[in-house]
Amino acid sequence: MPRTLIAIHAHPDDEASKTAATVARYAREGVRCILVTATGGEEGEYLNPSFAGRDPADLPDLPELRARELARSAGIIGYQEVISLGFRDSGMAGTAANADSGSFAALPLEDAAKPLVELIRRERPQVVISYGENQAFYPHPDHIRVFEAARTALQLACDPLAWPELGDAWRVPKWYWSLWTRERFEAVAKELANRGIEPPFRMQQRDGDDHLVTTRIDVSGTLAVARDALLAHESQIDPSTPFWFAISPEEMAAIYPFEEYHLVGSAEEEEENDLFAGVELS
């Protein structure tokens, strides 16, 4: 069986800001990498200041542009397949979009999970990556629903009585949550301070997931790939933003060359350094 990894994200650009260097590393190693994007990011805005002041008539339709950016980013990272589930962006809690019964977060959970079950049974991945259980810092309804849908899909994909028409049951050996750690942030903040740059205030107040780390992936060789993938989202990313771009990939590789994950159900006392560690491929 080929080594296969599925990463599940909420919106275009999430695949670039989270997990990109890790996936790029495994894609380079010959792993079949599949990206799932739940929504089209319809509730986003033009966040790059270079778009400010343009005549709206000269601007492309944002969902269409974000789809093109997603395709470019995924190609840079090395995904072999990109699957857009086509659900509607839910917006933030309290907005009109979030009250829309057709939004991703408002769908019955099994409806959100069903296409993931079909994908898992078809591709039979050894590794699935999603967001984690704790989304308190940035409680976007779509990020929360990605976690819920992934959890439900993984439970149902291995149940032969659940949607048997979707294929033979498959139990995914390893489910990972992507993490945000204070250790990495402090390393970046220290280097920024050395350059007279203040990191974002909200980031300074954020609690990390350091206590959940079971797996630390060396991505020193693919940090530049992740940077290029992020820049592919030109409608969303300001290339002058110091927190993301003041430190070069080469410098970052020396400062902090890791991305961290939590292996769900792990009982290991030692950290892993490979998402496929212990996986039987035959």
- Selection from 152, 175, 160, 166 nearest residue 123 by Cα: 166
What range does the domain containing 122 cover? Answer: 4-180+211-244+259-263
Is residue 268 included in any domain, yes or no? no
How many domains are there within the chain?
1
Does residue 166 form part of some domain? yes
The Cα–Cα gap between 103 and 142 comes to 9
CA atoms within 13 A on the CB side of 59: 16
Closest C-alpha to 171, from 91, 262, 265 = 265
Q: What angle do CA 90, 96, 101 make, to 5 degrees?
A: 60
Is residue 149 a part of any domain in this protein?
yes
Note the maximum CA span of the chain.
Answer: 59
Measured between alpha carbons, how far is 190 from 252 in angstroms, rounded to an integer?
12
The SS3 call for residue 195 is coil
CB-CB contact of 276 with 3 (8 Å): yes
CA distance 232 to 234: 5
Residue 273 lies in a domain: no
Does 101 fall in a domain? yes
> Which tokens go with 152?
């439900």
Residue 129 in contact with residue 176, Cβ under 8 Å? yes
What does DSSP say about strands 32-39 and 127-130: parallel, antiparallel, or unpaired? unpaired
Which tens digit of pLDDT belongs to each residue from 13-48? 999 999 999 999 999 999 999 999 999 998 888 889
Output Rg (C-alpha) for the chain, integer angstroms.
19
pLDDT at residue number 282: 67
Query: Does 154 reside within a domain?
Result: yes
In the block, which residue shows the tokens 């206590």? 211
Pull the structure tokens for residue 116: 């993931």
pLDDT of residue 217: 98
Q: For residues 71 and 74, what is the distance between their CA atoms, to the nearest angstrom?
A: 5
Answer for the pair 271, 213: CB distance below 8 angstroms, yes or no: yes
Cα 27 from Cα 29, distance rounded (Å): 5
Q: What is the pLDDT along the chain (282 residues), one digit of tens a residue?
A: 899 999 999 999 999 999 999 999 999 999 999 999 999 998 888 889 888 777 767 777 888 999 999 999 999 999 999 999 999 999 877 776 776 778 999 999 999 999 999 999 999 999 999 999 998 888 899 999 999 999 999 999 999 999 999 999 999 999 999 999 999 999 999 999 999 998 876 778 788 999 999 999 999 999 999 999 999 999 999 999 988 899 999 999 999 999 999 999 997 777 999 999 999 886
158 domain residue, yes or no: yes
Q: Which CATH number belongs to the domain containing residue 57 in this structure?
A: 3.40.50.10320
Is there a contact between 72 and 35 (Cβ–Cβ < 8 Å)? Answer: no
| Burial (CB count <10 Å: 0-12, 13-18, 19+), residue 96 | exposed
Please tell me whether residue 259 adopts helix, strand or coil conformation.
strand
CA-wise closest residue to 259 among 77, 23, 31: 23
How far apart are the C-alpha atoms of 254 and 159, rounded to whole Å?
45
Report yes or no on 197 lying in a domain: no
**Which pLDDT does position 33 carry in this prediction?**
98
Q: What is the pTM of this model?
A: 0.94
pLDDT of residue 102: 82
Listed residue (168, 160, 165) closest to 121, CA to CA: 168
